[in-house]
Amino acid sequence: MEFAGGAAATSLQSASNGIVHCVGHVGLGVNGCRRRGASARGGGKSVVVCAKIGKGKKGTEHEYPWPEKLPQGEITTGALKYLNRFKPLANKPKPVTLPFERPIVDLENKIDEVRELANKTGMDFSEQIAELEERYDQVRRELYSALTPMQRLSVARHPNRPTMLDHVMNMTDKWVELHGDRAGFDDPALVCGIGSMDEMSFMFIGHQKGRNTKENIYRNFAMPMPNGYRKALRFMRHAEKFGFPILTFIDTPGAYAGIKAEELGQGEAIAFNLREMFGIRVPIIATVIGEGGSGGALAIGCGNKMIMLENAVYYVASPEACAAILWKTAAAAPKAAEALRITAKELADLSIVDEVVLEPVGGAHSDPIQTSKNLKEVILRQMKELMKMDPEALIQQRAAKFRNIGEVDESGDVDPHIKRNMKKRDAPFKDDESRMLPSGSENAQKPVRANRE
């Protein structure tokens, strides 16, 4: 089969399993792609032709998934960048300094001042600059090696931290995004697609944050609607049918908690995913690349292996929310972050996380490409172990992993009666009212009557 767009497009056909990685290769696609040419019986060539899609009368037209004229050059820098709407930003993101990074910034400013002075005066300050740069590297390493849980949370939330699609573009040789849950709409907060690494196809599923305000609004700040989780489950079943291993990438503050999401069945969608993922008969590796918040993260996190980036966090409730509940103030968030044990190292010690992936000094945003390489190496190594297991063993191992989390003490005696430590009622009871306590309790009081004396 030959695709419109030349060698770059034709190469999207997988050599490993025969699955064609192209949107709209059968019939009329969602983006106006039409297949035409000789029939399969005749053995002729079939060409995918894609038309431009207009956003509306006032909007400008965009070319998706294929442009009219493909650029010349390597596949990784040519046609692949047009396979989805995730393209390089026109303007580089502005640098963001976290509060604990001020000592580093001060050293950077001193280095810039010395260099500027050297350029103005023509004097040789190379020794001073080298000494300051050595001090800069030392302070940076010491700072990032001893981060508190709250500081790691700020690194995980860094606006320039690489997103799921950033990692996908850095790791995969071929990639095409898939859309829709066939029940409602395509939720952009949760991205799905097929990609290949080392000539092997994988199903990629993950939360997608925006890289600027406009993208964050479009992606709903990586908080999926129920349709997003139903889309994820749809492509998990698709992967199971064709034998694709599943890779999920978790990076969300939580599922969207709006009224519309509740009307569409947010809780049911998450619960259904939890149940169904334990029956998927292909390997699943879940990776926390940023924030992993509550059930919104767990809905795509029930895998055979779980790995985390060094500065990622995984929690049942955000430290701010936990502090507001327990201490009635968000100012206690650092205390809550320590109590929740949300960091990768702490979760690895609790056997919740199987492996921690190291980040470059300065966080993933300081060197996204190296972070993706580290991630790819760990994922492929873990996947090779899982590929040796048969489907039934995969299901049993997945269930056993979650059953082994936590500890249960069954040695002590348990009081069968419910006890409540509640404040007594201040208002007097009426003649026909009585205070009912659990029957059978040794400490149960008799019904209290109002004293009319």
Q: Which of 308, 295, 98, 285 has its CA nearest to residue 203?
A: 285
431 is written with which tokens? 């003649």
- Sorted by sequence, the CB contacts under 8 Å of residue 204 that are 6+ apart come out as 164, 168, 172, 175, 191, 192, 193, 194, 195, 247, 249
pLDDT in tens, 24-77: 333 333 334 444 444 444 444 444 334 344 444 444 444 444 444 444 444 445
206 is written with which tokens? 């993950």
Would you state the pLDDT for residue 434? 54
Report the alpha-carbon distance of residue 71 to residue 157 in Å, rounded: 35
Residue 406 phi/psi, 5° resolution?
90, 175
What angle separates helix 266-277 from helix 226-242, to the nearest 10 degrees?
20
List of long-range contacts for 262-271, beta carbons under 8 Å, 24+ apart: 264/184, 264/225, 264/226, 264/227, 265/226, 266/225, 266/226, 268/226, 269/226, 269/227, 269/229, 269/230, 269/299, 270/229, 270/295, 270/296, 270/298, 270/299
Contact 357, 374 (CB under 8 A): yes
What angle separates helix 333-340 from helix 149-156, to the nearest 10 degrees?
90
pTM over 0.85: no
Q: Which of 247, 278, 277 has its CA nearest to residue 380?
A: 247
- Structural domains of the chain in order of their starting residue, each with its CATH number: 1-83 (no CATH), 154-403 (3.90.226.10)
Residues of the chain scoring pLDDT < 50: 1-76, 78-82, 437-444, 446-450, 452-453
Exposure string of 35-54, with b = 16+ CB inside 10 Å and e = fewer, is eeeeeeeeeeeebbebeeee
Which is it for strands 53-54 and 46-50: parallel, antiparallel or unpaired? unpaired
pLDDT in tens, 146-176: 899 999 999 999 999 999 999 999 999 888 8
Contact 162, 371 (CB under 8 A): yes
Contact 66, 5 (CB under 8 A): yes
Q: Which helix (H) or strand (E) holds 435?
A: none
For residue 265, which amino acid is it? G
Would you state the pLDDT for residue 18? 34
- Sorted by sequence, the CB contacts under 8 Å of residue 234 that are 6+ apart come out as 181, 182
Would you state the pLDDT for residue 431? 62
